[in-house]
């Protein structure tokens, strides 16, 4: 397991980082649960990465390993075979967040809702499948690729990373033998990163917490707005730029933020794959530039902020720092993960809300013959982030999700109503006095 993936695995019990990829399919008639389960398990057994589990080494002398673990029928769970309304489905998904996976047993699970009524895109009756997946197994793009194999037509037989585990004792001995080498590499790379970082461009300063940077408690509220992708496109920019503008305008329109209050989002940005790590992304502060009145100029400024963040992340010092971290001995990284306290708050934040944006490809996925309608996800909350937003596209449809708690947003439905109106009319078009 790559060090960054091992860190995600060790932190997961504290950060509740499991991903929940929701896919809604059309379904004119009720679906048979047994047929759905058999089809998905048969499919999963042909996908290498869905047949893995974690094995740890003695005393954390080496990083955990991925080992073969055949997919089991128990990994497809029927949540409400009798049928449910859309919001009831979301409420049930919210309850699953506290039921994190143990990748030593299973690194993924599918929750089936065979009949769901009143979907947010206007569909009267549909089916919903939620792929819960450990962040150690895949990041947002990787989990999307696995979902496309599970619900699509093509299986990537070369996607597995398993193998190489010789048993706990042998793995621990190997880690112990490599320990002096890792120490020397860590020191050498760390010194190089220190020297190079002096020439790296400075990033934006942290900002003071806002009304959304509140510890959410245990309550989870999930909402989803479905919109045509063209509603979020401004000029040549992708939907991420338009979504950031829409979220900013909706927060102002719902009077969660004052009209002239600055909103900075913490955006997840993917990196190019390095061939080993399953998690290849970083987060960066992106200003929503609500001070710019002109719609096109504002979109240009947001897009430039995203591009600047990419360039900063690729700077020599930052790249060298990541390579130094990769050489950290396993037991030291495990100690750091154990010492992490998720309840500690900071006086400053990277952003006022998290935005995670993933394009999930063509709308050619199916479930028992039903075509995919839309897809969404729910970025995790933390003690410093009490509201997160997902931006997930498939085909020409984009779903904007809101994950929060009533402690943070007592009137979450009021905010979502404003977000719907902003998306319907286009970003930056909502009057400042709207949102009674």
Please report the pLDDT score of residue 272 as a whole number.
83
Please determine, for residue 432, whether its predicted confidence score (pLDDT) is greater than 50: no
Look up residue 50 and give its two tokens: 């869905």
b/e sequence 331-341, b meaning 16+ C-beta within 10 Å = bebbeebeeee
Mean pLDDT in residue range 341-368: 95
Please return the burial class of 71, using the count of CB atoms within 10 Å of its CB with bins 0-12, 13-18 and 19+. Answer: buried
Who's near 202: CB < 8 A, 6+ residues apart?
none
Q: Of 169-178, 246-255, 298-307, which range is least confident?
A: 169-178
Q: In whole angstroms, what is the distance from residue 306 CA to residue 309 CA?
A: 5
Q: In whole angstroms, what is the distance from residue 112 CA to residue 99 CA?
A: 16
Dihedral of the alpha carbons of 283, 285, 289, 291, in degrees to the nearest 10: 150
Q: Which residues pair with 55 in a beta bridge?
A: 65
Q: In whole angstroms, what is the distance from residue 61 CA to residue 169 CA?
A: 10
Please report the pLDDT score of residue 157 as a whole number.
47
> How close are the terminal C-alpha atoms of the chain, in Å?
51
Domains and CATH numbers, the chain: 3-157 (3.30.559.10), 221-362+375-425 (3.30.559.30)
Q: Which residues pair with 376 in a beta bridge?
A: 22
Residue with the larger pLDDT of the pair 30 and 140: 140
Who's near 398: CB < 8 A, 6+ residues apart?
226, 227, 228, 229, 231, 232, 239, 243, 374, 391, 392
Q: In whole angstroms, what is the distance from residue 272 CA to residue 139 CA?
A: 12
pLDDT digits (tens, 9 = 90+) for 151-194: 997 655 444 444 455 566 666 666 666 667 776 777 777 777 67
Q: Give me the percent of the chain exceeding a pLDDT of 70.
A: 89
Please report the pLDDT score of residue 159 as a whole number.
46
pLDDT digits (tens, 9 = 90+) for 373-403: 999 999 999 999 999 999 999 999 999 999 9
pLDDT digits (tens, 9 = 90+) for 211-234: 999 999 999 999 999 999 999 999
């Amino acid at each position: 397991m790559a060090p960054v993936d091992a860190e995600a695995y060790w932190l997961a019990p504290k950060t509740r980082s499991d991903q929940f990829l929701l896919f809604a399919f059309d379904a004119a008639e009720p679906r048979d649960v047994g047929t759905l389960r058999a089809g998905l398990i048969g499919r999963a057994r042909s996908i290498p990465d869905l047949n893995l589990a974690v094995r740890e080494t003695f005393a954390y002398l080496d990083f955990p390993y991925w080992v073969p673990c055949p997919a089991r029928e128990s990994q497809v769970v029927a949540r409400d075979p009798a049928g449910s309304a859309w919001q009831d489905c979301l409420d049930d998904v919210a309850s699953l967040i506290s039921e994190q996976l143990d990748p030593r047993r299973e690194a993924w699970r599918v929750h089936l809702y065979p009949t769901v009524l009143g979907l947010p895109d206007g569909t009267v009756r549909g089916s919903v499948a939620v792929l819960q997946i450990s962040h150690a197994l895949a990041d947002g793009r990787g989990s999307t690729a696995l979902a496309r194999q599970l619900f699509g037509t093509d299986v990537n037989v070369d996607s597995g990373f398993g193998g190489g585990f010789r048993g706990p004792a042998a793995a621990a001995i190997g880690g112990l033998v490599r320990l002096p080498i890792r120490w020397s590499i860590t020191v050498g790379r760390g010194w190089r990163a220190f020297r190079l970082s002096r020439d790296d461009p400075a990033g934006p300063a942290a900002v003071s917490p806002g009304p959304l940077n509140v510890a959410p408690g245990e309550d989870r509220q999930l909402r989803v707005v479905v919109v045509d992708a063209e509603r979020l496109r401004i000029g040549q920019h992708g939907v991420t730029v338009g979504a950031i503008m829409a979220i900013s305008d909706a927060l102002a329109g719902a009077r969660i933020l004052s009209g002239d209050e600055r909103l900075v989002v913490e955006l997840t940005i993917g990196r190019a794959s390095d061939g080993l790590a399953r998690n290849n992304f970083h987060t960066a502060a992106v200003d929503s530039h609500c001070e710019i009145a002109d719609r096109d100029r504002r979109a240009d400024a947001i897009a430039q902020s995203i591009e600047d963040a990419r360039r900063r992340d690729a700077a020599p010092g930052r790249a060298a720092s990541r390579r130094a971290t990769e050489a950290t001995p396993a037991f030291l990284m495990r100690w750091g993960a154990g010492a992490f306290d998720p309840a500690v708050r900071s006086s400053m934040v990277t952003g006022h809300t998290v935005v995670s944006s993933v394009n999930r490809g063509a709308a050619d996925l199916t479930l028992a013959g039903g075509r995919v309608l839309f897809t969404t996800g729910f970025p995790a909350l933390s003690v410093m982030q009490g509201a997160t937003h997902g931006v997930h596209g498939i085909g020409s449809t984009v779903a904007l999700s809101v994950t929060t708690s009533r402690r943070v947003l007592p009137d979450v439905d009021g905010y979502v109503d404003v977000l719907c109106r902003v998306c319907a009319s286009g970003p930056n078009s909502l009057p400042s006095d709207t949102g009674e």
